[in-house]
Structure 1
Amino acid sequence: MKKHIFPAIKLTVVMLLFFAVIYPLIVWGIAQFAPNSGKGAVIEQDGRKYYANIGQSFTEDTYFWSRPSAVNYNASGSGGSNKGPSNEVYLAEVQARIDTFLAHNPAIDKSEIPVDLVTASGSGLDPHISVQAAKVQIKRIAKIRKIDESDLHKLIAENTDAPFLGVFGTERINVLQLNLALDKLNGHINTKKQ
């Protein structure tokens, strides 16, 4: 029995030290070289802090809407819905999102709605939407905020991230950054008109 217990205890202590102390210190050390020391992408505007790398809910008509979340944007419970494309409950959720989007964007045809505005990402926390998802919302925002559509097109172009290394992925837009820029643009336009 001693022959098996002492090696098991030694192995447990070694693994505990490695996985509870050494490995976390290595990861922490590597994170210190990442932007913002591995604490996430933080944006400060008007005295408030925002985390740009975690999806957030934007559903007001005055803003660009974000991608739906299967976890209600809760970072501690990241994950998708795990429902297949033939699941009736899932199909009903997607149809409800389509109906809601069309009700708030009556000038848009159903076929123009990009998939990322009615389906959640695998993590439920994707902070990005496609360029098409932003452009399809321009008419609503321009009308409500009384901004020229051309100004919104420029704003989208300025906030579009290119694919990684120019080849990996697609163009995308961080919704939080776009909406913060929208507030700045709207304030600048309102100031100019007064």
Structure 2
Amino acid sequence: MLRPVLLSGLLLLTFGFVFPGLLWAVGRLLPARAAGSPVAVGGQVVGFERIGQKFTQARYFQGRPSAVDYNAASTGASNAGPSNPALQAVIQARLDTLLLLNPELRREQVPTELVTASASGIDPDLSPAGAYAQVARVAAARLLPPAQVRAAVDAAIEESWLGFMGPAHVSVLRLNLALDAQRP
């Protein structure tokens, strides 16, 4: 009877006080990262490196959909399983909208990440395939040659750290800012 009580106490101490305290301390040591790593242009914060945001204009690359409308204060997924009819309807609506906005894409060319929300709801990155799927729309909206926009995507690809810490990705915010800096 004493062992379960001691184990419960140890787990409460570890995960109720020590672990949150450690996270708090790391946040104090790295305040910019704890705040989402703000990105400033001309001295004004325009977004966050680690927090996705909604881009609605055709001239901008769009990130993953968000189940929480990109609200960093209430991150989370829809928690609906793949067989849930409501989730299937949401994904179909996202797919229809994406194909309408990107008429050069065929259904089978659409990366899953462009129609499904991430677990956090605020994923700031896309895979290279997710970015390349939007090149024609962004190029047309910006009146740029598609090759120039594709080159911007190529330059924005960040490889995994040491080759094994996650897949290559593209920061949607950084890519959009790079294209804004190129203004035709």
Among 43, 46, 57, the residue aligned to 2:42: 46
The letter for the 2-side match of 1:42 is: P
Which residue does the alignment assign to 2:54?
A: 57
Listed as ranges, the gaps of 5+ residues in structure 1 are 1-10
Residue equivalent to 2:179: 182
Residue 108 (str. 1) matches residue 105 (str. 2): yes
Task: Describe the superposition over 1:122-176 as per-residue Cα deviations: whole angstroms up to 9, x where unpaired.
Answer: 1101011110111011111111211111211221121111113212321111111
Contact 1:40 1:51 in 2 (8 A): yes
For 1:127, the equivalent position in structure 2 comes to: 124
Query: How far 1:36 moved relative to its partner?
Result: 2.9
- Report the alpha carbon displacement of residue 59 of structure 1 after superposing the two structures with TM: 2.2
- 3-state SS of the aligned residue for 2:40? strand
Q: For structure 2, which runs of at least 5 residues remain unmatched after alignment?
A: 1-8
Q: Count how many residue pairs are aligned between Structure 1 and Structure 2.
A: 170
Q: Which residue of 2 aligns with 1:36?
A: 32
Offset, 1:48: 2.1
Give the fraction of aligned pairs with identical amino acids, expressed as a percent.
38
**Cα distance in 1, alignment partners of residues 34 and 90 from structure 2:** 35
Q: Partners of 1:156 and 1:103 in 2: how far apart? A: 22
The 3 A distance-change label for structure 1 pair 98 and 55 is: same
Distance 1:27 1:93, change over 3 A: closer
Partner of 1:169: 166
Deviates more, 1:40-49 or 1:105-114: 40-49
Worse-matched range after superposition: 22-31 or 130-139:
22-31
- Residue type of the alignment partner of 2:40: E
Amino acid at match of 1:167: F
Look up the SS of the partner of 1:40 in the other structure.
coil
Query: In the aligned structure 2, how far is the partner of 1:169 from the partner of 1:26?
Result: 24
User: Take 2:33 and 2:116, find their aligned partners in 1: how far apart are those partners?
Assistant: 32
Contact 1:57/1:65, CA 8 A, preserved across alignment: yes
Cα RMSD over matched residues? Answer: 2.1
